[in-house]
Structure 1
Amino acid sequence: MSTPPPADRRTLIADTAIGLVAAAGLRGLTHRAVDAAAGLPAGSTSYYFRTRTALIAACYQRLAELDLADVDDGAAPGSAAPPATAVAPDRDAAAAALAALLYRWLTAGRERQLARFELSLEAARNPELQDDLHRAGRGARARAAGVAAALGSDRPDEAAELLVAWTEGLLYDRLAGALARSRPAPDLAELTGVARRMLAAVLADPA
């Protein structure tokens, strides 16, 4: 088997690290564990990411890339929703796109989202990671602001902040909240209704 070039190896390491965090939490994230899980020679992870902080920062960047790829792809398998970054002709189309995205992250992307939550908490404990987490989060807010502006918001940045916060809260509640295990399976129709209410709230005139 050929050795992947450095750029691909960095991606492989980040993806493997995210998978380890999803499976075992941050306690399972070590350079040695990443090497073993990725099938790389010992010392490979520490060569590319000298410290644990650098490795976690790489995870932030990779998680942002994957999430934005989902946003740009636009829909869960089988959904006819348009890409979330498209200029939505109306709120129903935007709600369908957002619901499809939520559905994907609650199903096929579940483990990645759980890893993202756990990795994000590390920045609250390690100030060295706060700038990396902030940079990683800019893309989602920019996309949300674009949708809000296309739907006529006079304050798209504020609307984006609320939309991202509510999306994060919904994901956390349904994946890791106290009632997560007892909730029914994600339903696209129900999520579409939730998305409509979220959009109506963030696009309402401020009090």
Structure 2
Amino acid sequence: MTTTKKSKSSKSNGASSRRDKVINGAIEVLAKYGARGFTHREIDRHLNHPQGSTSNYFRRREDLLCAVGARIMELDLRDASAVVDSLTRSAPVTIERTTSLLVELLEQWMLPPNRNRALARMEIVVERIRNQELRIATEDQIYLAEKRFQSIFKMLGSAHPIQSAQIFVKLLAGVHVLLLEEIDANHRSFLSVLLRDWLTVSLGCVDKLAHPQTG
């Protein structure tokens, strides 16, 4: 009985590992070729797998795209959670400290080992606009990211921390367009100014949206 359970567990772990390998390969293909080149055939070729291997795990292209989107958002949530945890371990939480940690996070995302994720993320952001299945597959992770940032904005003094977090997460999604280009040697200063301004905007514009001025 015990041997049978171990055998089933081993098979399950092996299948999960192969599935993860397919998803990781799909991220690399999406980063390299964009959405147009994102096919089962190309992923099989990229992984040196027999044709048809990827479809054993993901029958439709949409299934594969949703799995990639969910994985990227899952990794992003893990990184964002680490920032929040680092901030909340020591008070006070200030815009300056928040900015500094976010700059470090974004620089980490742009290192060569993470560059594929950054490129694939941009494709996912665009695809989410027109693909309802992808929006549904990734909305839980985005919601959790907003909840994590909500705690930061609450400590920063936002009167509406969840709305501030929602605005900031949307702004953060677009920062990679800037980072994937060669900026200049002063990119850290550029990032610091940009993120500080975005934090300030996210803190302040909620009240302005809730109470628009009439002229």
Give 1:149-164 correspondences, 5 Å limit.
149-164=154-169
The answer to whether the aligner puts 1:32 opposite 2:45 as a matched pair is: no
The alignment status of 1:46 with 2:50, answered yes or no, reads: no
Equivalent positions of 1:81-92 (< 5 A) are 83=86, 89-91=92-94, 92=96
Check conservation: 1:49, 1:55, Cα contact below 8 A: yes
Equivalent in 67, 70, 77 of residue 76 of structure 2 = 67
Encode CA deviations 1:121-160: one digit per residue, 9 max, x unaligned: 2233333333113234223222221211232222111101
Query: What displacement does 1:42 show?
Result: 3.5
Distance 1:82 1:188 in 2: 22
Name segments (4+ residues, structure 1) moved above 6 Å.
none
Task: Describe the shift of the 1:45–1:83 C-alpha distance in structure 2 as closer, same or farther (beyond 3 A).
Answer: farther
TM-score (norm 2): 0.77
More displaced stretch, 58-67 vs 161-170: 161-170
Contact 1:84 1:98 in 2 (8 A): no
Aligned residues: 195
Find the structure with the greater CA-based Rg.
2
Distance in 1 between the 2:129 and 2:195 partners?
Answer: 29
2:197 — aligned with what?
197
Give, in angstroms, the shift of residue 117 of structure 1: 1.5
- The equivalent of 1:134 in structure 2 is 139
1:52-85 deviation digits (Å, cap 9, x = unpaired): 00000000111012212222344xxxxxx97367
Q: Distance in 1 between matches of 2:88 and 2:45?
A: 38
- In structure 2, the CA distance between the partners of 1:114 and 1:61, relative to structure 1 (3 Å rule), is same
- Segment drifting more, 91-100 vs 118-127: 118-127
User: Does the aligned pair in 1 maintain the 2:73–2:141 contact within 8 Å?
Assistant: yes
Match of 1:17 in 2: 26
Q: Which has the higher helix share?
A: 2
Please give the secondary structure, in 2, of the residue aligned with 1:5: helix
Q: TM-score, with normalisation over the residues of structure 1?
A: 0.79
Asked whether 1:99 is paired with 2:125, we answer: no
Q: Distance in 2 between matches of 1:85 and 1:39?
A: 45
Contiguous gaps of at least 5 residues in structure 2: 1-10, 209-215
Unaligned runs of 5+ in 1: 75-80
